[in-house]
Amino acid sequence: MFLDKDNKEIKIVIIVTIVSLYLKNLNHIINRIITGQCSFSSRRRMQRLGASKIIQVDFLPKEMVSYCKETQTPLNANLSEVEEEEEDEEMMEAKPGLEAEHQDEDDNREAKDALRELTEEERQQILHSSEFQSFFDCSIRVMERALAEDSDIFFDYSGRDLEDKEGDSGSGSSLSFSRLFYDEHWSKHRVVTCLDWSNQYPELLVASYNNNEDAPHEPDGVALVWNIKFKKATPEYVFHCQSPVVSVGFARFHPNLVVGGTYAGQIVLWDNRSHRRTPVQRTPLSAAAHTHPVYSVNVVGTQNANNLISVSTDGRMCSWSLDMLSQPQETMELVYNKSKPVAVTGMAFPTGDVNNYVVGSEEGTVYTASRHGSKAGICEMFEGHQGPVTGISCHSAVGTVDFSNLFITSSFDWTIKLWSTKQNKPLYSFEDNADYVYDVMWSPVHPAMFAAVDGMGRLDLWNLNNDTEVPTASVTIEGTNALNRVRWSTGGKEVAVGDSEGRIWVYDTGELSVTHTDDWTRFARTLVEIRANRADGEEEGPMELAS
């Protein structure tokens, strides 16, 4: 294609040249005629003009140069194959050295591009920033959960593994140890003063602790939130305040709030959404509220209308709004017969009742009381204990038979007593303990079962349908001086106990707490037998109270 184009151009040039020469000769002849140098005979025939000289010119085509970017080296044709192999080996030996040099250059370049080292002041500024603390708290909590998991990935659900373990699962007739919660920094040398399970998150357990006399610079009051779902050894949340916490509980209907009653008489409120470990709200220290230790805090009501109810040994009951703790909405002096102040050590509300409640006192007497109505305040007195009431619990299991009039109490007199709000004398006294009985609680699912702990480190589970003389199951924790508090989990499958050394023990109840359809009627018959035996043992039966 390019050659044809060049030939055409050459031909055009040649034609132009010939025409130019022809015109030049023609012009020369015309000039000679004009000047007379050339004459024509009239009889002479005109000569035909023609080219006198032809010059052929060749033009070379435009040279098109193309090349590759390669290194051209002279090749010695006389170089032997042996010499070529030697040169190749030398090149291969030299190559690692070149790679090392390139690697050093890359390392130097990366070192130059690396971030500069932060100063100590800059590091401290980052460590104390709220963004870093929020990220670190969330990350460390997740990592602890993952590292503490010990699930058996080879577990056989067909049951073959259980066949080889004779006696491990047993018949479910005993308590089995599940977890131990103890923090070396926050739990050491502190007494567990109260326990409570979360209704919103059943795996969460909050515990309150008093002051550590060996660490005067540490906060006096501590509340730790533990998680039984993950096998980690540290608490989920750590809260503290400047007064020993003697009562604590998750705020019902407010899953993010934890309420605490202090020895100084203040009520404190913690929020796990806040990065602060100190209370987000607290009541004032004034005569308008509590001035003595607050041994019980309860949130009662409904989702849209609820109040915090607190009682103290100063003989005062206060009703609060969780939105504002600056002053109580309602205050009531708990006085019996308008003359005897009641130093309350515990309070319990029957299931589904937000107006009526029972309280235990320092003198060992139990009282019923009401928040509103014509009989607001202390209503009836129940005598029977010979020492301060340490624990009180209303029957909470809901079933085919209504037992909401029943409640149990524990005392320093080494006894547990079963009561009915319809009688002013105890229905029965359980006297199997040989030390102070520090706490007691009805099972939330089984109508005839309750748990109790005493000063000898013993946990007892009583099933009144089986026996009323001795516990159905019992376990003594070795190395523990006293068990102070006991709480059933929301589902009734675990029971947690706290001791005087700051440790919390969680036990699985297994089949002990499984409820059968006839347990309600059996318990009703048991109560009839208890009343009959009591009537036979006394010359005069208990005085009936107005319902």
- CA neighbor of 523 nearest in space, from 467, 474, 460, 470: 467
- The residue with greater pLDDT, 119 or 544, is 119
How far CA 327 is from CA of 267, 284, 344, in Å, comes to: 11, 7, 21
Q: Mean pLDDT across the stretch 405-412?
A: 96
DSSP state of 244: -
For residue 250, pLDDT over 50 is answered with yes
Distance of alpha carbon 431 from alpha carbon 417, whole angstroms: 9
pLDDT tens, position by position, 288-320: 899 999 999 999 988 888 999 999 999 999 999
Q: In this structure, is residue 134 part of a structural domain?
A: no
In sequence order, the β-bridge partners of residue 181 are 504
Residue 17 confidence (pLDDT): 74
- The strands making up 306-312's β-sheet, listed across from edge to edge, are 294-301, 306-312, 316-320, 330-333
Q: Mean pLDDT across the stretch 232-239?
A: 91
Of 391-395, 455-459, 512-516, 532-536, where does mean pLDDT reach its minimum? 532-536
Assigned token pair, 348: 């319990």
* Residue 229 phi, psi (nearest 5): -75, -35
Q: In this structure, is residue 81 part of a structural domain?
A: no
Write out the E strands in 273-375.
Answer: 281-282, 294-301, 306-312, 316-320, 330-333, 335-336, 340-341, 344-348, 356-361, 366-370
Cβ 308 vs Cβ 261: under 8 Å: no
Cβ 435 vs Cβ 409: under 8 Å: no
Q: Mean pLDDT across the stretch 330-352?
A: 90
Total domains in the fold of the chain: 1
| Beta carbons within 8 Å of 291's beta carbon, 6+ residues apart | 265, 285, 312, 314
DSSP letters for 92-160:
HHHHHHHHHHHHHHHHHHHHHHSPPPPPHHHHHHHHTSHHHHHHHHHHHHHHHHHHH----TT--TTSH
Q: In this structure, is residue 545 part of a structural domain?
A: no
pLDDT band at 287 (very low <50, low <70, confident <90, very high): confident
Amino acid identity, position 116? R
* Residue 75 phi, psi (nearest 5): -110, 125
Assigned token pair, 451: 């748990």
DSSP letters for 400-431:
SS--TTEEEEEETTS-EEEEETTBSS-SEEE-
pLDDT tens, position by position, 348-376: 999 889 999 999 999 999 999 999 988 88
Q: pLDDT over 70 for what percent of the chain?
A: 75
pLDDT tens, position by position, 414-437: 999 999 999 989 999 999 999 999
Residue 127 confidence (pLDDT): 81
pLDDT tens, position by position, 6-40: 566 676 767 777 767 766 666 666 666 555 554 44
Residue 97 confidence (pLDDT): 56
Q: Mean pLDDT across the stretch 44-65?
A: 68
Burial-class residue 313 by CB neighbours within 10 Å (0-12, 13-18, 19+): buried
Q: Please give the angle made by the CA atoms of 223, 239 and 143, to the nearest 5 degrees.
A: 100
pLDDT tens, position by position, 78-124: 545 555 556 556 555 555 555 556 666 666 666 566 667 888 888 88
Distance of alpha carbon 344 from alpha carbon 294, whole angstroms: 9
| Beta carbons within 8 Å of 138's beta carbon, 6+ residues apart | none
Amino acid identity, position 286? S
DSSP letters for 372-410:
SSTT-EEEEEE---SS-EEEEEE----SSS--TTEEEEE
Residue 95 confidence (pLDDT): 53
Element (H, E) at 207: strand 204-209
Residue 42 confidence (pLDDT): 44
Cβ 360 vs Cβ 389: under 8 Å: yes
- The CATH number that applies at residue 262 is 2.130.10.10
For 445, other C-beta atoms within 10 Å of its C-beta total: 21
Q: In this structure, is residue 396 part of a structural domain?
A: yes
Amino acid identity, position 423? Q
Distance of alpha carbon 492 from alpha carbon 246, whole angstroms: 24
Distance of alpha carbon 480 from alpha carbon 494, whole angstroms: 20
- The residue with greater pLDDT, 152 or 196, is 196
Q: Please give the angle made by the CA atoms of 211, 213 and 218, to the nearest 5 degrees.
A: 60
* Residue 489 phi, psi (nearest 5): -70, 165
- CA neighbor of 461 nearest in space, from 476, 453, 469, 451: 451
Full domain range(s) for residue 245 = 177-537
Q: Mean pLDDT across the stretch 203-218?
A: 93
For residue 143, pLDDT over 70 is answered with yes
Q: pLDDT over 90 for what percent of the chain?
A: 53
Question: What's the mean pLDDT when you consider all of the chain?
Answer: 82
